[in-house]
Chains A and B, each alone.
Chain A
Amino acid sequence: MRNPTVASPEGFQLPDSQRRVIRWMIYLAFGALSIGIINGLGQALNYARVDILQYFPGMRTYYQGLTVHGVVNAIVFTFAFANGFLALTTSRALARPLNTPLLWAVLGTMVTGTLLAGYAMATGQASVLYTFYPPLLAHWSFYVGLALLVVSTWLTAILLFGALRGWRKENEGKRIPLMAFISVATYAMWTLASLGIAVSVVGLLIPWSLGLIDHSDPLLSRTLFWFSGHPIVYFWLLPAYVSWYVMVPRQAGGTLFSDSLTRVVFIMFLLLSIPTGFHHQYTDPGISGGMKALHGVLTFGVFFPSMVTAFSVMYALEIGGRRRGGTGLANWFLKLDWGNPALVAQILAMLTFTLGGITGLINASYNLNQAIHNTAWVPGHFHMTVGSAVTMSFMGIAFWLIPYLNRKELVGRGLALVSQWVYFVGVLVMARGLISGGLDGMPRRTEMLEAPYSKPSWELAGMLTGLGGTLMFVGGMLFFAVLIATILFGRKTETPEDIPFTDTYHPPATTGWEVKLDSFRYWVIATIVLILIAYGPFLAQYLPGNFTSTGYRFF
């Protein structure tokens, strides 16, 4: 019993006017990524004791470049991509057009936010890094820009929930289509998760930067940051998971096995992403060991749905590989379509993510965290998650999404494949450098080139970091070449194309417990309860806070 609209481009086509807005969102995402990657080259080479940042126009310090690198990659790129991509998947899955004014509002807030934060960063008035911990004090436009970028995700949430509501009215008693369910679940999670950053930025930092209040509370703002700062990792990751679950199986010629299990995974992310933030604050004073332990246990819990994902996605790939003639225990893997850049990018992304996940588990491991906290290990870890699992997945998606949005064919398939392999090798080499350096105490977020201290073992670590980062840069530039060539020179496609998504081997159940999975209301309430358990005791003991820090502009 298959849903007939799934494979059929005639099933539903997004109106051209909306396709155009989404196209600009995706352009904004990759435009941001290009700036982020160029700055990233400067960061990586700095570990290898090569200073190219001095040639960057307007770049005053290493830390200014690092701020730009973090903000445009981790916030602008990821937010713009998620906003555009999941609006598209939701609309397509529900076969409903979106609210056009709201779609424009999303793009408008993103552009305004990027310009405001970009102004502050470019003029060196906000070299506070992507974590912007007070009492380092940035120009108000930096905080307002960040707030607008968060608002753009809220507007997207309204857009998606609005579409879902409209669909439900017309389809009473039906199961929410899987792709829409997981897209909306992502935004349900992030809307709750972003409240921490929102309270800190809007309630505390904007008034403080405008001089309306004199003091900040560094521990409170830091806690609010990490309230959002762990789940933001899943906000980066879940759009990639959407692709891994419902698109990669199709691209690999396989089928997604279980509808219910996929929904359960996204519900687990909704429930468990947020009450885990203290694992970023294991080494902080002012927070009790008991609360840290609780967050540690819950963090181990959120590892579980990722392991389910590893199983489900690998199984879907295996179905594809076997349909293509693969046999035996591992031969099916080689039989996958290694000539399809959209698929290859995402398989390589999954491979780096296994290492990213394992190193993440180590970070989360309570007192073991003291061995690596704030060392180069940490960027080694997250370049294998957000810096490759997410980034390469988004690049892989772009290989069909940019052609789809432009109704053009991909130009430079070979180059596209090369770009992903180069980036893949690059990130592994760089992570090897950062991780080995970090294990030997090499700090992160530090201008090593100018540091008066060093250790012999950091030499090789730094060289590998620089080499790997250079390869990532080359891979990234090849990717942009493919993108630009496709946009400029791609041949027009005549027939309507659909986005490549799959239905499941087992269709959604229409009776029994599975139906209840679709009740977002209950999952949201359960999430709020978990948040209260995880953060309530700390806030009850800590509030009204310790507002005693004046601002510093040490940059």
Chain B
Amino acid sequence: MTVERIEKIFLGLTAAMLLVFLGALFYSAFGMGMHLPDRAGEILPSEVRNTPPFDDPGVREVGDNQYEVVLIGAAWSFTPREIRVPAGAEVTFIATTTDVIHGVHVEGTRVNFMLIPGQIAKVTSTFREPGEHLMICHEYCGAGHHLMYGRVIVE
């Protein structure tokens, strides 16, 4: 077999592999509903705590087995620090920051998103198993960045 032929096969397989991967990703996104954060509105960073829903952060039941978590990040803590939701419920995080960029990662889950000043983040997920997860600020936000964390308790 000539090199050109081997190369063509190699590149064909590469292209096929990439297409299969992309297909799987798009199926997981649009078939299984595993979406990334989208546009969910803007907010004035200095007015976060006076702007609904952020004037009343916390967890609330908004429908049949549906919960909403209103979350604020500020150097260097989350409000609320502890989030309790039932296993199997559909949980929507609505979150923003009052100062610099922060991040939210509920470890062990795919709840992983950025808090960017001026932007509202909205992420929906379901925690299937009961248990406890760290909720870590995973974007550098200043000298106390490593102190910024919370917990998600799935009951």
> Chain A residue with minimal CB distance to B121?
A285
Known contacts A218-B117, A284-B37, A286-B42, A554 near B144 by CB under 8 Å = yes
Contacts A127-B143, A285-B120, A304-B15 known; A133 to B101 CB distance under 8 Å?
yes
B138 within 8 A of A: yes
**A371 with B112, Cβ < 8 A, contacts A285-B39, A443-B138, A452-B149 known:** yes
| A284–B114 CB distance below 8 A | yes
Task: How many A-B residue pairs have C-beta atoms within 8 angstroms? Tell me.
Answer: 193
- What residues on B are CB-neighbors of A447 within 8 Å? 145-146
Given contacts A285-B37, A445-B139, contact A453 B100 (CB under 8 A): no
Instruction: Scan residues 359-384 of chain A and give those whose CB is less than 8 A from a CB of chain B.
Output: 361, 365-371, 373-375
Binary per-residue interface labels of chain A (383-397) against chain B in the complex, 1 for a CB within 8 Å, 0 otherwise: 000000000000000
Shortest CB distance B92–A (Å): 13
Chain B CB within 8 A of A199 CB: no
Question: Given contacts A285-B121, A286-B119, are A552 and B99 in contact (CB under 8 A)?
Answer: yes
Beyond A283-B113, A441-B108, A444-B138, whether A554 also contacts B36 by CB under 8 A is: no
- Most chain A CB within 10 A, of B10, B75, B105, B120, is at B105
- Contact residue among B34, B99, B119, B144 (Cβ-Cβ distance under 8 Å from A367): B34
Measured CB to CB, the closest approach of chain B to A514, in angstroms, equals 15
Distance, CA A24 to CA B122, complexed state (A): 51
Contact residues in A for B101 (Cβ distance below 8 Å):
133, 135-136, 218, 222
Which residue of the partner chain B has the closest CB to A447?
A: B146
Partner of A453, one of B38, B118, B134: B134
| Chain A residues within 8 Å of B114, by CB | 281, 283-285
Asked if B105 and A548 make an inter-chain contact with CB atoms under 8 angstroms apart, the answer reads no
A257-B3, A373-B105, A373-B112 are contacts. A289–B134 as well, Cβ < 8 Å? Answer: no
In the bound complex, CA of A129 to CA of B11 (Å): 38
Q: A135-B99, A285-B120 known; A451 and B146 CB under 8 Å? A: yes
> B40, B117, B119 — which one has the most chain A CB atoms within 10 A of its CB?
B117
For the complex, is B62 an interface residue (Cβ under 8 Å from A)?
no
Digit string of B22-36 for contact with A (CB within 8 Å is 1, else 0)? 100110110000111
Name which residue of chain A comes closest to B145, CB basis: A446
A-B residue pairs, 9 tightest by C-beta? A554-B142, A441-B107, A285-B121, A374-B138, A286-B119, A451-B146, A370-B110, A443-B138, A285-B119
A-B contact pairs, 17 of them (CB 8 A): A218-B116, A222-B101, A222-B116, A282-B36, A285-B119, A289-B29, A296-B25, A300-B21, A304-B11, A307-B10, A443-B137, A445-B140, A446-B145, A546-B119, A549-B118, A552-B75, A554-B99
* Residues of B participating in the A interface, judged by any CB pair closer than 8 Å: 3, 7, 10-11, 14-15, 18, 21-22, 25-26, 28-29, 34-40, 42, 44-46, 75, 99-101, 103, 105, 107-108, 110-122, 134, 136-147, 149
